[in-house]
A and B are shown apart, each in its own frame.
Chain A
Amino acid sequence: MIKSKLMLSMLRHLRGMGHRMIERTWRLGAGARLFFLAIVYSGESFKRFHLTLREIYFTGVMSLLIIIVSAFFVGMVLALQGYNTLQKYGSSEAIGVLVALALVRELGPVVTALLFAGRAGTAITAEIGLMKTTEQLSAMEMMAVNPIARVVAPRFWAGVISMPILASIFSMVGILGGYLVAVPLIGVDDGAFWSQMQANVDFSADIVNGVIKSLVFGVVCTMIALFEGFDAPPTAEGVSRATTRTVVISSLTVLGLDFILTSFMLVV
């Protein structure tokens, strides 16, 4: 009697695990399918470029303020913390290198992607989720307008274009913030700050790799936001859940992917 109960509960757990696994795999496949379709139908988003331009405005330009402000503070705090340790070894001039490498290689692309997921990704998910809830997407299909070409593709390309630009701005503004703390505030030599940075930051190994990272994050973050919106149950609760999931999944994916990308880039 007890044995069979145990068996039943075990079976239930196993079934639950299998169900979740199948659902995740299904979602991954559906996401990949949407990605593929967005690429296939992206002709219109370039032919009628004002569609994409409008989305660049909402994802890129509107994220500018949060990117610049956080970059500035990240750069300043990096310089402060770095100086605190470096001056123990009498090499406080290396602070420029520390700030620049940390920003260009890691913090620029990663923090930008995290902020982008929070600022623009959620907006995309909520917008598309609501479009689906209010049956705008079905209405489009009725009028023989392909919602993937009209809604998904422009947002996708806007995200892919915006992310590297935002990451470059983040890195540059962060370095300026670090400069502001290191040179006028702490009193590190101005020339040493820039020359050490130039001597140790390599264009192809550091800056280009940072841009490549941000491009990948742009594709991933935008695609997750689009898919969650497209896949959201057409209810108020469904949209809210999808929005939350966008942030969680995007953040985790960006952090995990960053490790993988870095391990590839450092080996080569």
Chain B
Amino acid sequence: MDRTTLDLWVGIFVAIGVAALFGLAMKVGNLTSSKIGPTITVTAAFDNVGSLKPHAPIKSAGVVVGRVDNIVFNSETYEAIVTLNIDERYAFPIDTFANIYTAGLLGEQYIGLEAGGDEVVLKNGDKIAKTQDAIVLEKMISQFLFNKASETEAKADVKAAPPVGTELDILK
């Protein structure tokens, strides 16, 4: 085999390989999208973080504005302290509301920020005071059943004699 043709083929081979790796990084991986600029760090306390994990996105109006840095348990207040890295390009008021939402029915959990109305903005090291916990499905169902039961009971009281085979009976 001629030396120059051989060099050419090896060159083509390496070029395809580099192109494939580049394609994997850019088109398949999150090398382009995961970049958020310099961040400020704020904390937020939650009673229950559900299945929130470090690196989970922080979204505001559906746009990713930061990532969860870490989650620790505070044994004095029995709360989960979540550290948030928020892109410093975005300024949020100090009374911003932090909620834990679920993407889709079974999707991953993320933090949604809803801007408040205060003039003072969040700075590095601040604490978000207004938080809302992750929704626990079992809790919600039991609450729903409880409400339903008390509702029918109230109705039954008004009617004096409860009819046979109401929702109440079925629930029992």
Interface residues of chain A, those whose CB is within 8 Å of chain B, are 50, 53-54, 56-57, 60-61, 64, 100, 104, 162, 164-166, 168-169, 171-173, 175, 194, 197-199, 201-203, 206-207, 211
- Cα-based distance from A171 to B25 in the complex (angstroms): 11
A168 to B16, CA, bound (A): 9
> Interface of chain A, helix or strand or loop or mixed?
helix
* 0/1 string, B1-44, CB within 8 A of A gives 1: 10100110110111011111101110111111110000000000
Task: Indicate which residue in B9, B10, B21, B27 contacts A168 across the interface (CB closer than 8 Å).
Answer: B21
**Residues of chain A with a CB closer than 8 A to B12's CB:** 61
A-B contacts, 25 listed (Cβ < 8 Å): A53-B6, A54-B1, A54-B6, A57-B1, A57-B6, A57-B9, A60-B10, A61-B10, A61-B12, A104-B24, A165-B14, A165-B20, A169-B16, A169-B17, A172-B24, A173-B20, A175-B28, A198-B32, A198-B33, A203-B29, A203-B31, A203-B34, A207-B24, A207-B25, A211-B21
Chain A nearest CB from B8 CB (Å) reads: 10
How many residues of chain B are within 8 Å of chain A by beta carbon?
26
Which residues in A have their C-beta under 8 angstroms from that of B16?
A: 64, 165, 169
B interface residues with partner A (beta carbon < 8 Å): 1, 3, 6-7, 9-10, 12-14, 16-21, 23-25, 27-34
How distant is A119 from chain B, measured CB to nearest CB, in Å? 14
Is there contact, CB below 8 Å, between B13 and A165? yes
Alpha-carbon gap, A206 to B34, bound state (A): 14
- Is there contact, CB below 8 Å, between B23 and A207? no
Q: Given the interface contacts A198-B30, A199-B33, does A164 sit within 8 Å of B17 by beta carbon?
A: yes
User: Are B20 and A169 in touch, CB under 8 angstroms?
Assistant: yes
CB distance from B82 to the nearest CB of A (A): 21
Asked if B27 contacts A194 (CB within 8 A), the reply is yes
The CA-CA distance from A97 to B31 in the complex, in Å, is 15
Q: Is the CB of B28 within 8 A of A100?
A: yes
A60-B10, A171-B28, A207-B25 given; 9 more Cβ-contact pairs under 8 Å: A54-B6, A57-B10, A61-B9, A162-B13, A165-B18, A168-B20, A171-B20, A199-B30, A207-B21
Q: Report the minimum CB–CB distance from B41 to chain A (whole Å).
A: 21
9 tightest A-B CB contacts, nearest first: A165-B17, A172-B20, A203-B29, A168-B20, A203-B31, A168-B21, A169-B20, A61-B13, A61-B9
| Closest CB in chain B relative to A38 CB, distance in Å | 20
B21 (CB) vs chain A CBs: closest residue: A168
B10 and A172 contact, CB distance less than 8 A = no
- Report yes or no: A64 in contact with B29, Cβ–Cβ below 8 A: no
